[in-house]
Structure 1
Amino acid sequence: MQAVLMRTFGEADVLRAESVADPEARAGWATVRLKAAALNWHDVLVRQGRYGSPLPHVIGADGAGVRVDTGEEVVVLPSLWWGDDESAPGPDFEILGDHRWGTYAELVRVPVDCLAPRPAGLSWDEAAALPLVGVTTYRGLFSRGRLRRGESLLVLGAGGGVATMAVSLASGVGARVVVTSSSPEKIAQAKGLGAAGGVLYTEDDWPDQARALSPGGAGFDLVLDSVGTWRDSLRCLRHGGRLVVLGASRSDSVVLEPRPFYFGQYELIGTTMGSPRDFAGLLALMDGNDIVPPPISATYPLDAAADAHRFLEAGAGFGKVVLTQP
């Protein structure tokens, strides 16, 4: 099979298409002939060596294709061996593409319980773009964040995969959604997914501007923070609100004042990825509501994975970047 093989860690040019052996059959596992594989920022971190992946290595967590043994059209859940405790992943948990070869290939082998039918109405590109950001966002908003119809939500960073998914899911179930972005164009695109409005986080007073867009200016019920700006996020919450944290793309450390935090009765909730049960909840939610499919920012052929990574890292796109198969 053809695969994008990484023989060393580094910049995007370490990703090169090569011919490698097909995955071998294994009890309890299935091989999927991929139609598309979506990129995630997590892939960039794996490429940089942040997760100590074995070399040579094929990265990639997201994919959709045809199950070789049955002919079923499936999507791949990249959350492996979550465990029996829904509150947090168990000690054997890993993400597909971290230590086992992932989806930047014509074929991928995964545990059978990590496959689900391709959702009706989604193209191959949209289906491939769904699993990681979908299950991560569903868990953050609903399993952990307890978002309900009629509540208000602030989503930080309008253009990324999690952010665009959050706008689609939350607005689809009847929440009022506001976004932040560095670009008026991305705010306009977020409105196309169901957001009520947005503010530019490049302006110093953006938390005040965002709060002014919350119901009655009292603050949001929930803030979804994938960037790590907790202090500013807390300023956007109503008293008793919930801050859900699932990333740290702009900050590796945070200093919080304890008294305003506990007097505000805030909740700080950490989350990442999601379980098979979360994924089933996501698919059921999409089936029962008018949810906008994941927006696709750009597509590249498999052998142009390095170019796809450069596009992703430039941050100019809105939505997901996808590798397609002929």
Structure 2
Amino acid sequence: MKAYTLTHLHQLPELTDLEMPTVKDDLALIQLTASALNHRDIWITKGLYPNIMLGAVMGADGCGMLNGQEYIINPGLAWGRNESFQSPEFRVLGVPDDGTFADFISIDRTYLYPKPDHLTSVQAAALPLAGVTAFRAIIKRAQLKTGEKVLISGIGGGVALMAMQYAIALGCEVFVTSGSDLKIAEAISLGAKAGYIYHDPDWPKKLLSDAGGVDVIIDGACGAGFNQLVKVCLPGARISFYGGTAGKIEGLNPQLIFWRQISILGSTMGSDADFKDMIDFVDKYRIVPVIDSILPFEAIPDGFKKLMSGEQFGKIVFQH
């Protein structure tokens, strides 16, 4: 079969001929119909994850066929029994375990979920990693309630967009930040109330003027900009963050946190129950992931280049 493998660090994955995956015990052989790209795939090529195995098939997101039915694959393996946090054995599909950038994948049947009828295979492939990460961050950890005011930072990425769509589905007022006026305009076209350029040091004042503050913030960057997020929190607000791409949080005023009863919540990926609940939520509200571009399987390296440019709005998906 054809597959894109991590052959060398600091290089794009290479198209390789591999033997068909073995199938035994509770494993199922899935013929992949579509897969999708995540920033995680970029960071793996840069050697920024532990337990990287050269020669492994890349890709965490995928949708595929088994016995005439299409399934979405849960990429979070071995979460464990505790819903509060993942087990030491937890890992994400696609290095070290072979992933979805291939013709076929062999995976335990417990990680397969029937594709919601309203989604195409391409749309379904865009859902798994971003969908469950956003769902745990905003629904499970931040406990978002109908009608609350929400800020999503760095709109344009898969997780941020899914979080925005979940909040809109629950009737919340959603505000966004971005470094791009175009991405803000696109978010507003999808239902966001307003957006702010995060390079503008006065953006918190503008949001406070527009909304008076927010109840929930979803962030994937942290870094110096985290202090700006705290400024727009209403008393009792929850900040749920799923990444730290901008680095450490420095200079945070603890008085602003404890006096206003603000909760800061870490979140990563999601449990098997989170994934099932996410699929049910997407099905109930007929949510369709935002897709930036659809490329053929052979153009996976081009997808990497596009994601590295940072110009995408939504997921980059590959048709197999």
Q: TM-score, normalised by structure 1?
A: 0.94
Please tell me whether the aligned partners of residues 151 and 218 of structure 2 are also in contact (alpha carbons under 8 angstroms).
yes
Which runs of 5 or more structure 2 residues have no equivalent in the other structure? none
Match of 1:59 in 2: 58
Question: Of 238, 254, 267, which aligns to 1:258?
Answer: 254
Q: What's the counterpart of residue 46 of structure 1?
A: 44
Give the secondary structure class of the aligned counterpart of 1:299. strand
Question: How many angstroms does 1:133 deviate by?
Answer: 0.5
Pair 1:224-2:218 in alignment: yes
Aligned mates of 1:110, 1:209 — CA distance in 2: 49
Aligned partner letter, 2:18 = V
Counterparts of 1:101 and 1:74, CA distance in 2: 18
CA distance in 1 between counterparts of 2:248 and 2:305 reads 23
Indicate whether 1:239 and 2:238 are aligned: no
For residue 268 of structure 1, the aligned residue among 259, 264, 274 is 264
Q: Secondary structure at the match of 1:134?
A: helix
2:69 paired residue among 69, 72, 95 = 72
* Shift in Å, 1:182: 1.4
Alpha carbons 2:188, 2:194 under 8 Å: kept: yes
**Quick one: distance in 2 between partners of 1:253 and 1:147?**
24
2:283 aligned partner: 287
Determine helix, strand or coil for the equivalent of 1:213.
Answer: helix
Cα deviation, 1:21-71, whole Å, max 9, x if unaligned, reads 11001212212111111001111111211223111121110000102xx33
1:301 equivalent in alignment to 2:296: yes
Q: Contact 1:140–1:272 at 8 Å: present in 2 too?
A: yes
Q: Deviations over 1:162-208 (max 9, x none)?
A: 11111111101111111111122211211222211111112121222
Q: Unaligned 5+ residue runs, structure 1?
A: none
**Structure 1 residue 2, shift from structure 2 partner:** 0.2
Counterpart check, 1:318 vs 2:316:
no
Report the aligned-residue RMSD.
1.3
Secondary structure in structure 1 of the residue aligned to 2:34: strand
Compute the displacement of 1:290 (Å).
4.5
For residue 125 of structure 1, the aligned residue among 119, 122, 126 is 122
Whether contact under 8 Å (2:226, 2:249) holds in the other structure is no
Secondary structure of 2:186's counterpart equals: helix
User: Which position in structure 2 is the counterpart of 1:185?
Assistant: 182
- Helix, strand or coil for the counterpart of 1:243? strand
CA distance in 2 between counterparts of 1:323 and 1:287 reads 22
- The Cα shift of 1:117 comes to 0.4
How far 1:222 sits from its partner (Å)? Answer: 0.5
